[in-house]
């Protein structure tokens, strides 16, 4: 499939929005707890999908398809809640949008490996080569100077495992469900679970919410609502492998956002680690062309 220019623009816009969302998460973590931040932004994300669904999924859904969509949304919502919570805590602990983006980006390497190990799906040599690049890059990114792998790095890595599981869950159900309604249900589940945990475990401060309003709005409306819509429209007329490669550049934009908006700095070895992780991500998404006989 030849990817249309419009799709290329939409996919890159998605990656940019998702990448800069790590900066929003970092800033938001300074004012509100992880559960409060995620709860409010996923409420906004849930609400923002109503007009999108009215535009792109107008048709009536039969009871069986709705049941499957609801079931898949509930499962994915719990996984999304776990992944987003670990990610937000990881961003808060590491206090780095760039590092958080690159560690999270490892899910594009983990997915085909998990699919091979547990689902017996074919995996190419490039996938395993990409995994090696990514692991070495992760080591260089996290082991800077005398610093050892910190708790924040491990929390982010745990989040990456659940982002991987989230993609596997979507892959299992996507052919039988209404994608936008599914997205809205999973966002709603994540929002409810986050708010419940916030009420129990955090001291919700309206002053803190006010201070974190812009990051929360960006995370909810842009990262969830706008970016998800752009992804759907972009992938509609794009090669799936090309789409995955473009979307994986969110980790690069996370690093760029950290440098431009938060004056983040990393060691030379850490930057080299980022490059290796990015190479690994791209390699894991490529396919070897068969030789013609």
Tens-digit pLDDT profile for residues 173-217:
877 888 888 889 999 999 999 999 999 999 998 999 999 999 999
- Exposure pattern of 239-273 as b/e (b: 16+ CB <10 Å)? eeebbbbbbbbbbbbbbbbbeeebebebeeebeeb
CA distance 111 to 100: 18
The count of structural domains within the chain is: 1
pLDDT at 241 over 70: no
Domain that holds residue 66: 5-285
Highest mean pLDDT among 86-90, 129-133, 254-258: 86-90
In a domain, 290, yes or no: no
What is the rounded distance in angstroms from the CA atom of residue 190 to the CA atom of residue 84?
9
Q: How far apart are CA 285 and CA 204, in angstroms?
A: 42
Give Dmax (Cα) for the chain. Answer: 69
Helix and strand element counts for the chain (H, E): 14, 0
Per-residue b/e over 192-219, b at no fewer than 16 CB within 10 Å?
Answer: bbbbebbeeebeeeeebbebbeebbbbb
The residue behind tokens 């996923």 is 42
Does 291 map to a domain? Answer: no
Of 3-12, 31-40, 129-138, 139-148, least confident by mean pLDDT is: 139-148
Q: Which residue has the higher pLDDT, 61 or 10?
A: 10
Residue 280, pLDDT score: 81
pLDDT in tens, 33-86: 999 999 999 999 999 989 888 887 777 768 888 899 999 999 999 999 999 999
Looking at the domain assignment, is residue 139 inside a domain? yes
- Find where tokens 């994608």 sit: 179
CA gap 234, 139 in Å, rounded: 33
Mean pLDDT confidence for 127-154: 75
pLDDT at 153 over 50: yes
Question: Is residue 278 within 8 Å of 252, Cβ to Cβ?
Answer: yes
Inside any domain, residue 292: no
Decide if 218 is inside a domain. Answer: yes
Taking residues 131-157, report their average pLDDT. Answer: 76
* 145 pLDDT more than 60: no
């Amino acid at each position: 499939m030849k990817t249309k220019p419009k799709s290329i623009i939409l996919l890159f816009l998605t990656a940019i929005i998702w990448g800069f969302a790590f900066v929003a998460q970092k800033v938001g973590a300074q004012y509100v707890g992880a559960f409060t931040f995620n709860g409010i932004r996923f409420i906004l994300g849930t609400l923002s999908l109503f007009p999108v669904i009215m535009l792109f999924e107008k048709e009536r859904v039969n009871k069986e398809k709705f049941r499957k969509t609801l079931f898949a949304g509930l499962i994915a919502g719990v996984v999304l809640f776990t992944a987003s919570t670990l990610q937000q805590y990881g961003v808060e602990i590491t206090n780095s949008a760039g590092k958080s983006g690159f560690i999270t980006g490892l899910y594009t390497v983990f997915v085909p490996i998990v699919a091979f190990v547990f689902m017996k799906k074919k995996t190419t040599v490039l996938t395993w080569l990409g995994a090696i690049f990514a692991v070495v890059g992760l080591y260089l990114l996290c082991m800077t100077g005398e610093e050892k792998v910190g708790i924040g790095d491990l929390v982010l890595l745990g989040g990456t495992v659940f982002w991987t599981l989230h993609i596997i869950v979507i892959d299992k159900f996507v052919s039988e469900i209404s994608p936008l309604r599914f997205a809205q249900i999973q966002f709603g589940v994540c929002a409810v679970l986050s708010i419940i945990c916030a009420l129990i475990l955090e001291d919700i401060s309206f002053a803190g919410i006010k201070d974190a309003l812009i990051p929360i709005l960006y995370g909810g409306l842009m990262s969830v609502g706008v970016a998800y819509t752009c992804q759907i429209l972009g992938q509609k007329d794009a090669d799936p492998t090309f789409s995955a490669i473009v979307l994986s550049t969110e980790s690069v934009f996370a690093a760029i956002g950290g440098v431009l908006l938060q004056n983040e700095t990393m060691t030379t070895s850490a930057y080299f680690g980022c490059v290796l992780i990015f190479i690994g991500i791209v390699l894991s998404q490529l396919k070897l062309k068969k030789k013609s006989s």
